[in-house]
Structure 1
Amino acid sequence: MDRSQMNHTAQITNCNMNSSPMKGYMVLSSPSLKISIAVLFSIFGILCILENCLVLYLIFSSPKIRKKPSYLLISSLALADVLVSIIFVCSFVDFHVFNTTDSFKEIFLLKLGGVNTSFSASLGSLLLMAFDRYVCIQRPSEYKVIVTRKRALVAMAIMWITTMTIAFLPLMGWNCCKACSELFPFVDNNYLTSWICLVMILLVCIVYTYMKVLWKAHKHTVYMEKHQSQAGRQNARMRMDVTLTKTLVMVLVVVMTCWFPVLALMAYSLFNRLNDHIKKVFAFCTILCLVNSMVNPIVYALRSMELRSSLRNTSSRFRKKLRSSESPAETDSTQKALPIKTTCDSIVCDTDMNLQKD
């Protein structure tokens, strides 16, 4: 073995085994900071797991709901958010609170790949759901033909495979030992730039798609206000459009509020040296990404009439198991009293056909 090969081997060994590069990223030196961030991550992580597991249970426990493409996309989002709450919380607390360093950088990059996969899949699921809403409001009469269960599964598979491939690129070789990112050990700045661009593209597509849906809902509301003479059913449609508008505005506000600070600091780190204070701010800002995963079930899933109906059915069955004195006939009558409507039909697919020509 010549001298250059020996130096290269020594450099790789030093990069793998030396924990000093990783210690430079552990900026939470104060015990009070460590306790506060551990408490926050633990609370939000547990709530996120409970909420998203509840959504997954409600979807897959109902044969009618789990067959619908819209709820397959919601289940993809819930699964990604469960992974976020488990992998991200455990990795972050282990690294920043307990100051655990891995003997090999591949172990750290494996954990980082899991975190990137879960966050990217969460945003990818949000984008698929945005397209689902867009098709639903733009072409309601053709919705069931365009958005099928098979196409939804294919889109989900492509999205998950793509996000996993991109997330594990550092583990597959696109990494560094020295002159790395200011925020992440062993992460090349070029890779970080690419990942930021990917997330920005996803967010821009989500915002653009929902803005198109909002514009369509606004036009529908204006149309209904001009035809107040046909009260009854049209007033109900207008109320649904107003509700949809409020929901989508909430979606956009939550997504941008949770992701903008983190992405801004990541982009800033590419061009400037960061002091420990900014790194601490970044550590606390990452909590917002976890909050986004915690809020997603409330914004997307539990506002759905079908899932609320399924939740009431589940609660009713659970209460009746505790009160075994009630008859089966009462259970059946209670379940029949809770009708289920499709997500798209409950929002916009009953829109007046004259509006579809706009």
Structure 2
Amino acid sequence: IDSLWVVYTVLEVLIAVACCLGNVLVVCAVCVGIRDSLREPTFCFLVSLAVADFLVGVAAVPLAVVLDGWVSLTPDLCLLLSCVVLVLTQASVLSLLAIAVDRYLRLHIPLRYKALATQRRTWLAVSLCWILSCLLGFTPLFGWNNYSSLTSDSTNTSSSSFISPPCTFLSVISLPFMVYFNFLGCVMAPLLVMTLLYVRIFWSLQGRLKESCPQAQASLLRERRLACSLALVLILFASCWIPLHLMNCLLMLSKITILTRSYFPGILLSHANSAINPVVYAYRIPKIQQAYSQIWRRFLLRLNCCHGDKHVERSITSNRATHTETRGSGGKTTP
């Protein structure tokens, strides 16, 4: 086994564990630690993003290892598993877009915002994000793929007995699809829209801070801090995912065969983004930071209680044993 592949696999496992633990903590912090948080659209969309990041650790990372040519699968199954990775990426993009739209509406139509952003409409928007993610991510299943060339190659090489070829992502997913549809249409277009929205948000906040009275500035400063935190999540997403897409562009335009190993840094960086987000929430969003502290306090308190109960149980057991021995020895010495 290639030593580089072993290092890559170990790093993927560590990233997967970090994704799962960190994002479960985010969901618990929002749903349990912050009172009435699910009534606020921003936190609902953060939960959606955390669920997508959690599924990256559960599904996308193991699939990335499987879709590396080490497992022989039928072309149908290989294509389906590859599309799952695309769905999770798209869910992250659309959750980030929903967060940006929510902050923009909250700032620019504050009077209508509460009537517009009801809890029912918020969860409807979350559902719409995931439905669109499935439609966009599973697009290769409807024909834009390398399935025909892959099956023809496999039948040519094995005319007598069909042998499933090694499953790799780019063996079933078309490069023009990844560049023109997925990168430019499904990733870059939403990122540009989000960038414009955050520019408008910061521009508006800066103007209001100059014109507002000291009493209103505290609320605006909190709004700006939250907007900065969410914009940082967006910047990190773009920084972690764009290098991998640029490698696809280079591969398609230059027609140079790139070894799978050269994709390892880009794949690791894209998956690491899902593990970074919980850390950003902890350091940048005060409500989630406080919820983290509460969860850890409860966890440590329960550990101490369990440890204390075991200690008390052990002491009671030892006292009973000592008392029994004393009675037994006393019975022997009595005439």
1:240-290 CA-to-partner distances (Å, cap 9, x unmatched) read 36634643552343132112212222223332213335x533332122211
Of 241, 257, 261, which aligns to 1:275? 257
Q: Does 1:168 align with 2:138?
A: yes
TM-score (norm 2): 0.75
Question: Could you tell me whether the CA contact under 8 Å between 2:103 and 2:227 is conserved in 1?
Answer: no
Residue 297 of structure 2 is matched in structure 1 by 316
Residue 289 of structure 1 is matched in structure 2 by 270
Superposed structure 1 runs of 4+ greater than 6 Å apart: none
Q: Which is greater in Rg? A: 2
Structure 1 letter corresponding to 2:202: L
Residue 329 of structure 2 is matched in structure 1 by none
Q: What is the alpha-carbon distance in structure 2 between the residues aligned to residue 241 and residue 73 of structure 1?
A: 17
Residue 322 of structure 2 is matched in structure 1 by none
Q: Does 1:217 align with 2:198?
A: no
Gaps of 5+ in 2: 151-167, 307-335
Q: Could you tell me how far 1:238 is from its partner in structure 2?
A: 6.3
Residue 65 of structure 1 is matched in structure 2 by 37
Residue 82 of structure 1 is matched in structure 2 by 54
Across the aligned residues of Structure 1 and Structure 2, the Cα RMSD in angstroms comes to 2.8
Residue 106 of structure 1 is matched in structure 2 by 76
Q: Does 1:188 align with 2:174?
A: yes
Q: What is the alpha-carbon distance in structure 1 between the residues aligned to residue 142 and residue 194 of structure 2?
A: 29
Q: Could you tell me how far 1:117 is from its partner in structure 2?
A: 0.7
Counterpart secondary structure, 2:233: helix
Q: Could you tell me how far 1:166 is from its partner in structure 2?
A: 2.0
Q: Could you tell me how far 1:47 is from its partner in structure 2?
A: 0.8
Residue 37 of structure 1 is matched in structure 2 by 8
Q: What is the alpha-carbon distance in structure 2 between the residues aligned to residue 139 and residue 38 of structure 1?
A: 48
Gaps of 5+ in 1: 1-29, 225-229, 326-358
Q: Could you tell me how far 1:319 is from its partner in structure 2?
A: 3.5
Q: Could you tell me how far 1:116 is from its partner in structure 2?
A: 0.7
Q: Does 1:121 align with 2:91?
A: yes
User: Percent identity at matched positions?
Assistant: 24
**Structure whose residues are more often helix by fraction:** 2
Of 23, 27, 46, which aligns to 1:52? 23
Question: Could you tell me whether the CA contact under 8 Å between 1:48 and 1:85 is conserved in 2?
Answer: yes
Q: Does 1:261 align with 2:243?
A: yes
Q: What is the alpha-carbon distance in structure 1 between the residues aligned to residue 84 and residue 111 of structure 2?
A: 40
1:124-160 CA-to-partner distances (Å, cap 9, x unmatched) read 1011011111122223343322211111111111111
Counterpart secondary structure, 1:201: helix
Question: Could you tell me whether the CA contact under 8 Å between 2:90 and 2:136 is conserved in 1?
Answer: no
Q: Could you tell me how far 1:108 is from its partner in structure 2?
A: 0.7
